[in-house]
Amino acid sequence: MSKELDFLETFFQTAIDKIVDNLSTMKDSKGHNRFSSGVTAQEVGQPDNQQITEYATKWVVQIYMPYYYEFIDEGVSGWANEKKNTGRFKFKKNGRPIPREAILSFMRNRGIVYDGFQDDKKKKGVKSKQSIKDKLNQLAYIIGRSIKRKGTEGVPFYSSVMTDDFFKSFETNFLDVYGDKVLNDIEFVFKNK
């Protein structure tokens, strides 16, 4: 790997590390921790994928993100517009419901259960287990409906890292490290014409 590619990889890996760190440390506007199960963080950057591709005249840097990162970063307005955010996304009142499995996973990660869950858990029998499952599904439906109505607040885990200042810093560092090489390459090209 060339020095330039090594520099690019190191610089952008630092950005990926900040993005991943933001997923676990960022707070919403009320100061609540935005708990992340870790799946999103695992998908950021995906180290098994090549992030930098070298071509004859340029390098291309790709930072892999999960498909839903913009929804987390910008938030989604509810159909009742209770959470007014500046994001581009909005739930539709009559649109598809939020997938129940996603809400159930959300509930498991946060330990959300209904009142009386512990008592129901002590009961034995198939009917009791089905009753627990039905009550959890009902709670998931209610939570999903509430999220659609109220929306979700954005947590700028990505956009707080990938700023104009970040790219200016990249330009400055790249020129400091490789400016002379680039100028020498340009000079060589013009001498040989």
Beta strand extents in 104-172 (DSSP E only): 151-153
**Domain residue limits, the chain:** 3-162
This prediction has a pTM of 0.70
Q: Which range has highest mean pLDDT (34-43, 47-56, 151-160)?
A: 151-160
3-state secondary structure of 76: strand
Is 96 or 126 the better-scoring residue by pLDDT?
Answer: 96
For residue 60, the cross-strand partners are: 53
Q: What is the pLDDT of residues 129-155, one digit of tens each?
A: 888 889 999 999 999 999 888 888 888
pLDDT of residue 85: 60
pLDDT of residue 139: 94
Rg (CA), the chain: 24
How far apart, in whole angstroms, are the C-alpha atoms of residue 19 and residue 15?
6
Which residues, in sequence order, are CB contacts of 106 under 8 Å at separation 6+? 112, 143
Using a 10 angstrom Cβ sphere, with 0-12 exposed, 13-18 middle and 19 or more buried, the burial of residue 157 is buried
